[in-house]
Amino acid sequence: MKINHNYQKLEQSYLFSNIAHKVSAFTAAHPEKEVIRLGIGDVTLPLCDAVIKAMQQAVSEMGHKETFRGYGPEQGYDFLKEAIAGYYGEQGISLDLHEIFISDGAKSDVGNILDLFDTDNTVLVPDPVYPVYVDTNIMAGRTVTYLNATAQNGFLPLPDPAQKADIIYLCSPNNPTGAVYTREQLKQWVDYALVQKALILFDAAYEAFIKDPSLPRSILSIEGARKCAIEFCSFSKTAGFTGTRCGYTVVPQELTFEGASLNAMWLRRQTTKFNGVSYIVQKGAAAVFTPEGQKQVKANIDYYRQNAAVLADTLREKNIWFTGGENSPYLWMQCPNQMDSWAFFDYLLTEVGIVGTPGSGFGKNGEGFFRLTAFNDHENTKKAAERLRACL
C-alpha cells in the first residue's frame, strides 16, 4: 500500500494552536485579567427563529410515516434550490435549478471541486488567503502560484495579462482581509479568465455582509462570468449555520472545457460520492429566504456590522491603515510601529488583553498585518475598542 505522499508536502499550520497556547499561558499567569477575543472566525448569535421553526416542523415530519423522508436528491431538494434561485433573481441573476448544488458547506465543495481537474494546471491563489485553497491543491499534487495581495493593491490583486493561468481562486469579501472587489475589478478577472480559457473559483461565503449596493455580491452578476466561473456560497456566516452545515455551489451550464460540461461532471461527482444534506437542515436553510427569515438573518448581520463599525472607527481615529470592516466581518490592520504580526499579537494580549489573529498565519504577505473580527458581542467589542484606543 502506497500513501499519497503529497500530504507530506503540506505545511503544518500552528496558527490557531499557537494562539490558544499563548492565551492559556497568559490567563494562567494573570487570572485577574479579562481577555477579549477578537480572533473569532465563527458566528456567536444563535440560529434565527424562522430557521428553528422550520427545522422543528421538519423533525416532526420525519416522525410520521406519511411525511418521513429517506434519501433525498444528492444535489439538494428543489424547494431549497428554488429559494436560492429567487435570491439570485433579486440581484438580476437568472439561475436554472440544475445549476445549483446543495452541500454541507463551502469548505467541502471548495476542496471536492478539484476532483474535476487534471493535476497539470496552473493555479493562482491570492496571498494572504483562506488556507483551504492552497492545502487542497497540495493534497492533489498541484503546486500553486501566488497572487500578491499587498497594501499597494488594497489587498485586491488584479490580473497580469502576462501571467498564464488555468484555475484562479478569488474570495470577495475576503477572508482574512475583508477587502471587496468592485464590479470593474471583477470584470477584469472575468475578461482575463476568458482570454486564458481559465476557470475562476469564486468564494462568496461572506456575500451577505456587503451593504454597499454598488459592490457585486456574486461574480455571476458580471458579464461573461457564466462562461468562466463557479461560485461557492454558504449559510455559515450568512445565517449562523457553522454548526448546522449547509452551503451551495453554482456551476453554470455554459462552463465547458475540452468539450466537457463542468456542470455534468460535478453532478456525476456529487451523485457518486455524496448523499445529500439532511432534509431537516435544508428546510432550515430554505427558511432563511422567507420574508421573516430574511428580516431575522439581516438583523444578525447588522449586529456584527455594528461591531465592525466600532472597530473601524477606532482604527481610523488612530490613523491606522486597514481594509475591510464595512462590507465584511473582518478588519485587516497594519501593525503599528513596524511590529511584526506575532510581536503585535503579544503586545495586544499582554498590554490590553485582546486576542486577534496574526496576519502572517495567512501567507507571507500577511506579515506586518493583523486580523480582527466582528463576531464578539457588542459589550465586549466596545470594551475592546476602548482598550485599543488606549494602547495604539
Q: Which of 175, 296, 307, 328 forms a contact with ligand PLP (CB under 6 A)?
A: 175
Say whether residue 203 binds ligand PLP (CB under 6 A): yes
Say whether residue 107 binds ligand PLP (CB under 6 A): yes
Minimal distance in Å, beta carbon 110 to ligand PLP? 6
Identity of the residue, 41 or 72, whose beta carbon is nearer to ligand PLP in the bound complex = 41
Closest residue to ligand PLP, judged by C-beta, is 105
Q: Which of 236, 296, 300, 314 forms a contact with ligand PLP (CB under 6 A)?
A: 236
* C-alpha span between 69 and 39 (Å, rounded): 40
Beta strand pairing call for 144-148 and 229-234 = unpaired
Identity of the residue, 169 or 314, whose beta carbon is nearer to ligand PLP in the bound complex = 169
Minimal distance in Å, beta carbon 331 to ligand PLP? 15
Per CB under 6 A, the segment of 59-67, 83-91, 105-113, 382-390 that binds ligand PLP is: 105-113
List the interface residues with ligand PLP, window 269-328 (CB under 6 A). none
Strands (E), the chain: 36-37, 100-103, 123-127, 144-148, 167-171, 199-203, 229-234, 247-250, 256-257, 260-261, 322-324, 330-334, 354-355, 357-358, 369-373
Contact 249, 84 (CB under 8 A): no
Minimal distance in Å, beta carbon 106 to ligand PLP? 4
CA 113 to chain centre: 16
Per CB under 6 A, the segment of 2-10, 47-55, 103-111, 187-195 that binds ligand PLP is: 103-111
* C-alpha span between 262 and 385 (Å, rounded): 47
Helix (DSSP H) and strand (DSSP E) numbers for the chain: 12, 15
Identity of the residue, 75 or 234, whose beta carbon is nearer to ligand PLP in the bound complex = 234
Say whether residue 242 binds ligand PLP (CB under 6 A): yes
* C-alpha span between 153 and 114 (Å, rounded): 29
Say whether residue 130 binds ligand PLP (CB under 6 A): yes
Nearest to 219 by CA among 209, 208, 230: 230
CA 103 to chain centre: 15
Identity of the residue, 107 or 387, whose beta carbon is nearer to ligand PLP in the bound complex = 107
Total residues interacting with ligand PLP, rule: CB under 6 A: 13
Contact 374, 305 (CB under 8 A): yes
Q: Which of 39, 76, 105, 159 forms a contact with ligand PLP (CB under 6 A)?
A: 105
Could you tell me which residues come within 8 angstroms of residue 76 by beta carbon, excluding any fewer than 6 positions away?
100, 101, 102, 103, 248, 276, 277, 282
Minimal distance in Å, beta carbon 107 to ligand PLP? 3
List the interface residues with ligand PLP, window 7-46 (CB under 6 A). 41
| Residue 355 DSSP SS3 | strand
Contact residues: ligand PLP, CB under 6 A: 41, 105-107, 130, 171, 175, 203, 205, 234, 236, 242, 247
